């Protein structure tokens, strides 16, 4: 007998309206299946980041539903990952703490593993954080503005990392960079601010 949840999406969002004191976005609907990468685009203030936070209970849900497939672990990389001013941990330590052992580390990140996190540039730190999310146990990965702090070379590395769709993970990526989203995502959803097109 087949399991009805076997072909189910990792994440189903129906008519989701999110915000804090008041709604910030128009209703959003999508399904995300294993191996898919969905981009969330839209103008500044449209609520892209707020939608991600609502999926992790970090923002208020005013309307709609969020369904995550039972047993699916999720990880979320915020727009500004916290960085300790003086942190003796190395890149190896970060990946160990995040249990990011399921995939071999790409060559573009190898040189960062032995360095202390507090000596890395913002872009280098961001790349390691993204890899820590992708290399962990989560099947569902939410990335909020992962291109922040990246120079063109690091952006190229991130693009290649995300295009490889590691082990069938589902990704939701927020970015203001539409060219980047077009390069890494299977589809891109335009998020509109509340009150626009209502």
Q: Averaged over 10-17, what is the pLDDT? A: 97
Query: Which residue, among 21, 150, 100, has the nearest Cα to 184 in the 3D structure?
Result: 150
- Residue 11 near residue 140, CB atoms below 8 Å: yes
Q: What is the DSSP letter of 114?
A: T
Q: Beta strand 60-68 with 170-174: parallel, antiparallel or unpaired?
A: unpaired
Q: Dig out the tokens for 104 from the structure.
A: 């071999």
- Asked whether the beta carbons of 10 and 139 are under 8 A apart, the reply is yes
Top mean pLDDT of 90-99, 102-111, 185-194 is at 185-194
Contact 184, 36 (CB under 8 A): no
The structural domains of the chain, ordered by start, are 11-190 (3.40.50.300)
User: Which whole-number Å values give the CA distances from 175 to 34, 84, 103, 104, 115, in the listed order?
Assistant: 21, 25, 25, 26, 28
The pair of structure tokens assigned to 127 is 């790349």
What is the mean predicted confidence (pLDDT) over 32-58? 94
Mean pLDDT in residue range 55-78: 94
- What is the 3 state secondary structure string of 130-156? HHHHHCCCCCEEEEECCCCCCCHHHHH
Which 3 state secondary structure label does DSSP give 123? helix
Residue 4's pLDDT is 47
Least confident among 13-17, 81-85, 156-160, 165-169: 81-85
For the beta carbon of residue 73, count every other beta carbon within 10 angstroms: 11
pTM over the 0.85 mark: yes
Question: What is the pLDDT averaged over residues 111-138?
Answer: 89
* List of E strands, 8-127: 11-19, 28-32, 37-41, 60-68, 74-77
């Amino acid at each position: 007998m087949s399991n009805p949840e076997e072909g189910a999406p990792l994440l189903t969002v129906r008519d989701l309206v999110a915000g804090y004191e008041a709604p910030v976005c128009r209703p959003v609907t999508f399904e995300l299946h294993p191996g898919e990468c969905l981009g969330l685009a839209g103008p500044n203030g449209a609520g892209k980041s707020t939608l991600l936070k609502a999926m992790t209970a970090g923002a208020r849900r005013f309307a709609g539903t969020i369904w995550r497939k039972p047993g699916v672990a999720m990880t979320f990389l915020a727009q500004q990952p916290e960085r300790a001013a003086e942190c003796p941990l190395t890149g190896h330590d970060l990946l160990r703490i995040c249990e990011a052992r399921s995939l071999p580390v790409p060559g573009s990140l190898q040189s960062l593993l032995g360095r202390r996190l507090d000596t890395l540039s913002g872009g280098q730190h961001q790349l390691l954080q993204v890899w820590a999310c992708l290399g962990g146990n989560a099947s569902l990965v939410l990335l909020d503005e992962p291109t922040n702090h990246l120079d063109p070379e690091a952006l190229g590395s991130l693009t290649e990392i995300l295009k490889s769709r590691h082990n069938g993970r589902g990704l939701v990526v927020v970015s203001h960079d539409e060219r980047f989203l077009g390069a890494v995502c299977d589809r891109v959803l335009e998020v509109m601010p509340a009150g626009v097109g209502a």
